[in-house]
Amino acid sequence: QGLLRLLAVLGYLAVVLLVVAGLAFLLSVSTDAALGAVGGAVLLWILSSILDQITALGGLRAFLPTHFSTAWLGLLSTPVQTDDVVRGAISSISYATLFWALAYWRFTRKDVTS
């Protein structure tokens, strides 16, 4: 049972990190500096985490990509709490799809011969 929970946590974290990967990919096709793309993705992830801690934002916090990033803790509790995990997976897949689609759209219109 512990191994199944650990695999579920790893799967959830992989889905959450798809957002960071999509954002880094979007920034990498938008700029020529690879380090700037990675730094920008990390910076925006940290900024989203900081904004998520501000309770005065109310319901807007649920729309931040990092709001459900700690929902994996529910998979380790007894009984298992999957409500936030499902919401977090849906949110992460939505953001990842958006970022990856924008990156692909930008990449197909970029001049790569220069």
The kind and range of the H/E element at 45 are: helix 34-52
Residue 112 has a pLDDT of 67
Cα(40)–Cα(95) distance, integer angstroms:
16
Question: Would you place residue 113 in the very low, low, confident or very high pLDDT band (cuts 50, 70, 90)?
Answer: low
pTM, 2 dp: 0.85
In the predicted model, what is the mean pLDDT of residues 2-26?
93
Angle at 72 between CA 67 and CA 73, to 5 degrees: 100
Residue 24 has a pLDDT of 92
pLDDT in tens, 26-79: 999 888 888 888 899 999 999 999 999 999 998 899 899 999 999 999 999 889
pLDDT in tens, 67-95: 999 999 999 988 989 999 999 999 999 99
Residue with the two structure tokens 């798809």: 18
